[in-house]
Chain A
Amino acid sequence: MTEAYDIAVVGGGNAALCAAVTAAETGAKVVILESAPEFYRGGNSRHTRNFRCMHRGPLSVLVDSYEEEEYFEDLLLVTKGETDEEMARLTIRMSEECLPWMERQGVRFQPSLSGTLSLSRTNAFFLGGGKALVNAYYNRCEDLGVDVFYDAEVKHVNIEDGHFTHVDVSMKGGEPTRIAAKAVVLASGGFQGDLDWLTRAWGPSAANFLIRGTPYNRGVVLKDMLDQGAESVGDPTQCHAVAIDGRSPKFDGGIVTRLDCVPFSIVVNQNGDRFYDEGEDVWPKRYAIWGRLVAAQPDQVGYSIIDSKSAELFMPSVFPPIVADTIEGLGQQLGISGDKLARTVAEFNAACREGRFHPTEKDGLATDGLTPPKTNWARPIDTPPYYGYSLRPGVTFTYLGLKVSPTAQVHTAEGPLDNVWAAGEIMAGSILGQGYLAGFGMTIGTVFGRIAGREAAAYVS
């Protein structure tokens, strides 16, 4: 490869594409190095569905307003303060101008999807979802003359005396070849696709986790940069995991694997015992803790049990539930002790009391004298047929990342590297240090992708 590039973009998801488009619009010669094959291009962005966006009045498909303070407070709530305020506010403020920019690149938005009305003010949904967004950006890149290589895994980012010179890339699994550029943008995501790394960081139980997104985020570039003295942010041992359908694929199951039945169910472990308050809060506020809860159970598996009264109270599941006419039979089909499950259900039923059941808000219908309690939506499980779903932890992303400046420059102990920028999940840990806020990953990727593209283009011109 003899062509001289101005900017090499490592990665092929939302942040990488925003950087590439922004830089290429200035006339810079850009190359995208995407480790996935063409079909799986776009990293986790292909599974996303919306963009959390600040707006001071109605904007595109977004209604009403969503201002900086409210947005920042929402972030504080989920991260419990684990955020860099300057970077977070920068992201939030810039999100407003991002949306029209995205539309100009060919990204299309649609009104909030059915079942997600609670997000219609804060989150702009992509028409067709994240893959349609990714397609739009790749088409834009093609129009701007950006070179794109798929199956192009960057093994090493070469830095000499604080200065980037080239990347070593393995094309289609071949021997690494060298691609030189005047600047580099690192946007290659986290490391959750590398199960060995995940197991080392989290513990052996991580081997049983399912990975909701791309298998191609293996953290190769992240590790390479950390080995070369780049400063890190985010807890290296943590990942964001939710409880998903236990029958989901090991990788790449995406949105459809979620299960929203937990608040209307009881959840037991392999021994048939309950282990947490299933009705602590409405599901959008609790689904994120259940990955961790299930991860702490034997063999990292849980079973959510409902009866026919609750069968239609939540979004349909990707796989049909296990159905049985008796609790014992359901337990056997799920592979746990039917007798034990029947006892647990009987205990739970005995602790339920009369009261008003309201599926969409906290109804205070709590158990009486049960440990652990179920504090809302506690109705006896007594109307066959009975339904069961297995639950497993599904990893969405990891928190460990590269420390960057507000201009997206990658830092080492000696200060920022003069021609290395980072965007997206690989640097999101400084803003989203804990928890998760729907659509915020795409916001960080878009904002910092554009910043990185702009800064890198300014550097090379």
Chain B
Amino acid sequence: MSLDALARSATDEARRQMEICNACRYCEGFCSVFPAMTRHRSFTDADMTHLANLCHNCRGCYYSCQFTEPHEFNLNVPAALGEVRQLSWERLAWPGAFSRLFHENGVALAAALAVGLAVMFAALQALRPESGEGFYAYLSHGAMIAIFTPAFFLPLAAVGVALRRYWREVEGQRVTLGQIVEATRSAGTMRNLDGGQGQGCNFEKGDRYSNARRVFHQLTLYGFLMCFAATSVATVMHYVFAWEAPYGFFTPPKLFGVPGGIILCVGTAGLAWLKTKADPKLGIARVWGGEMAFVALLFFVSATGLALYAVTGTAAVPALLAIHLGAVLAFFLVIPYSKMTHGFFRFAALVREAQLSRR
């Protein structure tokens, strides 16, 4: 089946389930999806795309549901919305050729990593500078910029195209600052995984509530943002203040990067561990491997970054530098076509929900 045909049948199935939910409404208190559902009597494809991306897969509705399998209504809302959501990322990705590659396929992601590593090892071999300090002794600042500027901005541009398509599909309007603030607050606290009352979601403990997933997700999110901040602040220091690497520990890049890397390692390790405990049938089973590989890649990026700092001044630096930069390169390249893309879509859905819920 084509991607569009798959999306149609997934949307029809999710719509069937939402129509049953809309006659029940017991789950209104768990998350944003059910209050959003009650705004409708019937659901257009755009409504379904919006609800699907608003769903954070907390699974509260599944474990509370009287109508899950073996009941003949056979509801599994987290999986049904999950499939619509997953297919929306794949449908709207640009360019379409890569759209499914890294979602489903952990091996493809590993291959991307291998390519990243190979590129960096080759670069270090071929472009070794005459002189330079710290990492720049192995790969010049100019070479790094030449590789990473396009490797960062091209995927971001691809994400931009996908988001534009998404926004058009869900009939989004002009965004206001207030809506951004509301969406940021929701994402920043991961409110949609708190079960509605702070008791958490249903993941690794079945029908018991737990905040473990919310905590590990936020460690991953904030750890990642700190690492990103470390790189950003270093860029500013380099270009604006002509303060070049290497940086000592008590400098902004390290003060963000080292704790950020540790937090990111803990968060991703936690998420991977929880994933092994949870019921795959309530997620998108076909992307389990791809998701796991992505979490592993993120862990690998942060762990090699920390290791690189730990081996400062030893003979291990060039090899570890290539490994770390290779992992970062692979990570950048798969952003639009892997689990990483969920953050962009989810944030857009939260902004859209802020628009719709204020009417």
Contact = CB atoms under 8 A, between A and B. Distances in A.
Interface of A: 39, 46-47, 49, 108, 110-111, 113-115, 126-132, 135, 139, 249, 252, 254-258, 312, 315-318, 320
A135 B196 contact: no
Looking at chain B's contact residues, the main secondary structure is loop
Interface string B36-71: 001001000000000000000000110111111011
A254 B71 CA distance: 11
B23 A129 contact: no
Contacts, number: 83
A262 B221 CA distance: 51
Given A139-B207, A312-B41, A320-B19, A255 B26 contact: yes
Contact of B66 (A131, A315, A318, A320): A131
B64 A132 contact: yes
A316 B22 contact: yes
Nearest to A37: B70
User: Which of the listed residues A108, A128, A131 has the most CB atoms from chain B within 10 Å of its own CB?
Assistant: A128
27 contacts: A108-B197, A113-B28, A127-B64, A127-B196, A128-B29, A128-B30, A128-B63, A129-B26, A129-B66, A130-B26, A130-B66, A131-B63, A132-B26, A132-B64, A135-B64, A139-B207, A139-B208, A252-B66, A252-B71, A254-B24, A255-B26, A256-B24, A256-B67, A256-B73, A257-B23, A315-B23, A320-B19
Contacts of A130: 26, 66
Contact of B63 (A111, A114, A135, A320): A135
A127 B30 contact: yes
B130 interface: no
Contacts of B196: 110, 127
A321 to B, nearest CB: 11
B29 A110 contact: yes
B27 interface: yes
Nearest to B68: A39
Contact of A254 (B30, B64, B66): B66
Nearest to A139: B208
Given A129-B64, A132-B63, A318 B25 contact: no
B66 A47 contact: yes
B23 A317 contact: yes
Contact of B26 (A49, A135, A139, A249): A49
B67 A254 contact: yes
A128 B22 contact: no
Nearest to A318: B23
Contacts of B207: 135, 139
Contacts of B67: 254, 256
A75 B197 CA distance: 32
A128 B38 contact: no
Contacts of A110: 28-29, 196-197
A318 B75 CA distance: 13
A39 B24 CA distance: 19
B197 A127 contact: yes
Contact of B199 (A108, A129, A315, A317): A108
Contact of A115 (B25, B29, B71, B73): B25
A130 B207 CA distance: 13
Contact of A114 (B38, B70, B208): B38
A39 B70 contact: yes
Nearest to A47: B66
A389 B22 CA distance: 17
Contacts of A114: 25, 28, 35, 38
A17 B294 CA distance: 43
A256 to B, nearest CB: 4
User: Which of the listed residues B22, B196, B207 has the most CB atoms from chain A within 10 Å of its own CB?
Assistant: B207
B48 to A, nearest CB: 15
User: Which of the listed residues B23, B66, B196, B199 has the most CB atoms from chain A within 10 Å of its own CB?
Assistant: B66
A49 B23 CA distance: 13
User: Which of the listed residues A47, A255, A256 has the most CB atoms from chain B within 10 Å of its own CB?
Assistant: A256
User: Which of the listed residues B28, B30, B196, B208 has the most CB atoms from chain A within 10 Å of its own CB?
Assistant: B28
Contacts of A252: 66, 71
A81 B170 CA distance: 55
A258 B35 CA distance: 20
Contacts of A258: 23
Contacts of B41: 312, 316
User: Which of the listed residues A126, A257, A318 has the most CB atoms from chain B within 10 Å of its own CB?
Assistant: A318
Nearest to B40: A316
Contacts of A312: 41
A135 B23 CA distance: 22
The 3 closest A-B pairs by CB, nearest first: A129-B26, A128-B64, A110-B29
A139 B208 CA distance: 7
Nearest to A114: B38
A108 B202 CA distance: 14
A390 to B, nearest CB: 16
A75 B25 CA distance: 26
B20 interface: yes
B155 to A, nearest CB: 39
User: Which of the listed residues B27, B61, B70 has the most CB atoms from chain A within 10 Å of its own CB?
Assistant: B27
B23 A128 contact: no
A47 B19 CA distance: 18
Contact of A128 (B20, B35, B61, B71): B61
Contacts of B199: 108
A103 B22 CA distance: 27
Contacts of B29: 110-111, 127-128
A320 B73 CA distance: 14
A343 to B, nearest CB: 31
Interface string B164-185: 0000000000000000000000
Interface in B293-342: none
Contacts of B23: 255-258, 315-318
Contacts of B60: 128
Nearest to B72: A249
Given A316-B19, A320-B19, A113 B63 contact: no
A47 B66 CA distance: 7
Nearest to B65: A131
Contacts of A126: 26
B27 A128 contact: yes
Contacts of A46: 66
User: Which of the listed residues A47, A49, A131 has the most CB atoms from chain B within 10 Å of its own CB?
Assistant: A131
B63 A256 contact: no
Given A130-B66, A135-B63, A113 B26 contact: yes
Nearest to B27: A128
Contacts of B197: 108, 110, 127
Nearest to A256: B23
A128 to B, nearest CB: 3
A392 B228 CA distance: 62
